[in-house]
């Protein structure tokens, strides 16, 4: 079955220090299931890697390799525009950032489970009936 990932899960697939048994299990599933992410994900992913480089947690060549590997993983980046009033409503209702709400919105719109390590996002997903992976 397909599922939506957030940046916390994707990052853990490529940065060993972020990996958990949960994210390792999800990576195995991603090799045989369809993985979706909202259109904000590539920017958030690159920004997180850049911040890690600035904090001397990753080197430039490591990030280059991560980006190359991420490109080979068949993550379907959603191209449908999100209605801003809908996103605003989710933000207000869930108290999430608009970035996190975009993952929730995609899971809701596609009727897919959400994979996240973010406690607030998981709580918001459960509150609106989105299954967690």
Average pLDDT over residues 91-113: 95
Average pLDDT over residues 120-129: 96
Average pLDDT over residues 38-42: 96
On the question of pLDDT at 83 being above 90, the answer is no
Q: How many Cα atoms within 13 Å fall on the side-chain side of residue 48?
A: 19
Q: What are phi and psi of 114, to 5 degrees?
A: -115, 135
On the question of pLDDT at 82 being above 90, the answer is no
Share of residues in the chain with pLDDT > 90 (%)? 90
Q: End-to-end distance of the chain based on CA atoms, in angstroms?
A: 10
Residues in the chain: 133
The structural domain count of the chain equals: 1
133 inside domain: no
36 inside domain: yes
132 inside domain: no
**Which CATH number do you get for residue 63?**
3.40.50.1010
Structure tokens at 2: 């397909």
DSSP for 36-47 reads EE-TTHHHHHHH
DSSP for 93-104 reads HH---HHHHHHH
């Amino acid at each position: 079955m397909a599922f939506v990932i957030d940046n916390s899960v994707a990052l853990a697939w490529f940065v060993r220090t972020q990996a958990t048994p949960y994210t390792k299990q999800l990576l195995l599933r991603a090799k045989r299931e369809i993985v979706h992410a909202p259109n904000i994900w590539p920017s958030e992913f690159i920004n997180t890697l850049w911040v890690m480089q600035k904090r001397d947690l990753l080197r430039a060549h490591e990030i280059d390799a991560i980006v190359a590997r991420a490109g080979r993983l068949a993550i379907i980046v959603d191209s449908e525009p999100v209605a801003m009033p809908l996103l605003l409503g989710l933000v207000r209702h869930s108290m999430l950032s608009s970035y996190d709400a975009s993952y929730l919105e995609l899971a809701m719109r596609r009727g897919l489970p959400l994979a996240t390590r973010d406690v607030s996002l998981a709580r918001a997903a459960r509150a609106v009936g989105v299954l967690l992976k």
